[in-house]
Amino acid sequence: MSAMRILTKKREIDAFLGILRKRGAGVSPEVLKKTGEILASVRRGGDQAVKRYTRRFDGHTRLRLTPAIIQRYAEKADKGVVSALKLAARRIKRFHQRQKEASWSVSEEGIRLGQVIRPIRRVGVYVPGGAAAYPS
């Protein structure tokens, strides 16, 4: 792992930005087109479209696992893997606890400004199958 560097010279910054720009250059126009089609389909078709793509790419249609299904999979899982996942979950939670923001407001001359922080009750996330695993 490399140490953090603070870039202050224009040529260093420009060189670094050039590296970042090249990272996205490898995405083919076909991939961008297909991705756009999938996103448009999901915008139009909602959960039904997501189910179609989940069936097509991952071989199933579940958008949400029940606690009973999760428990069945957990019982089949390697105990070392379960232990590692629990450790990762504790670390992730501890990390993000420090990121919590609080609501705030200020009033001045009859005008109230502020920010309200509310948790999101439920979020849908599609994590594609494949060679990589992203348990967090």
d(CA 49, CA 63): 11
Taking only the tens place, the pLDDT of each residue in 44-70 is: 999 899 889 988 987 777 777 789 988
pLDDT at position 90 over 80: yes
Quick one: pLDDT at residue 1? 46
Quick one: pLDDT at residue 130? 60
In terms of pTM, does the model score above 0.85? no
Quick one: pLDDT at residue 113? 94
pLDDT over 90 percentage in the chain? 38
- Within the chain, what is the greatest distance between any pair of CA atoms? 63
pLDDT at position 107 over 70: yes
- Does residue 101 contact residue 117 with C-beta atoms inside 8 Å? yes
